[in-house]
Structure 1
Amino acid sequence: MNTPFPEIMTERLHLRAATPADAEDMLRYLSDPEVMKHTGMEPFQNTEDVLDEINWYHSLVEEDSGIRWGITLKGTGKMIGSCGFHNREKKHFRAEVGYELSPEHWGKGIASEALRAVVRYGFSHLRLERIEALIEPENEPSLRLVEKNGFLREGLLRHYEYGRGKFDDLYMYSILKEDIALADRVG
Structure 2
Amino acid sequence: MTKQNVFNTKRLNIKALDTPLGSNELCQLVCILSDEVTEHLPPSFQGITTEHAAKTWLNEQVQSSQVYGLYLNEMAQLAGLLIIYVENHHAHIGYLFAKSHWGKGLATELLTGLIAYGKSQNDWHVINGGVSTENTASAHVLTKQGFVKTPSNSNDMLHFELTL
TM-score interval, normalised by the smaller of the two chains: 0.7 to 0.9
Within a 5 Å distance, the mapping from 1:9-28 to structure 2 comes to 9-18=8-17, 19-21=20-22, 22-28=25-31
1:94 and 1:38, CA in 2 relative to 1: closer, same or farther beyond 3 A?
A: same
The structure with higher relative contact order (CA 8 Å, sep 6+) is 2
Within a 5 Å distance, the mapping from 1:94-173 to structure 2 comes to 94-158=90-154, 169-173=156-160
Q: Which runs of structure 1 show a deviation greater than 4 angstroms over 4 or more consecutive aligned residues?
A: none
Identity of aligned residues (%): 22
Bigger Rg over Cα: 1
Matched residues, number: 156
2:78 alignment counterpart = 79
1:48 aligns with 2:52: yes
Give the SS at the match of 2:151. Answer: strand
Ranges in structure 2 where 5+ consecutive residues have no aligned partner: none
Give the SS at the match of 1:53. Answer: helix
Q: Distance in 1 between matches of 2:55 and 2:123?
A: 30
What displacement does 1:12 show? 1.0
Q: Distance in 1 between matches of 2:79 and 2:50?
A: 17
Contact 1:25-1:80 within 8 A present in 2 as well: yes
1:176 alignment counterpart = 163
What displacement does 1:48 show? 1.6
Give the SS at the match of 1:76. Answer: coil
Contact 2:149-2:160 within 8 A present in 1 as well: yes
What displacement does 1:68 show? 2.2
1:29 alignment counterpart = 32
What displacement does 1:70 show? 0.5
Residue range with higher mean Cα deviation, 105-114 or 116-125:
116-125
Output the TM-score relative to the length of structure 1.
0.76
Ranges in structure 1 where 5+ consecutive residues have no aligned partner: 61-65, 160-168, 178-187
What do you get for the CA RMSD once the two structures are aligned? 1.9
What displacement does 1:57 show? 4.5
1:7-56, CA deviations, whole angstroms, 9 ceiling, x for partnerless residues?
211111111123412111111121x2110011122231211221123323
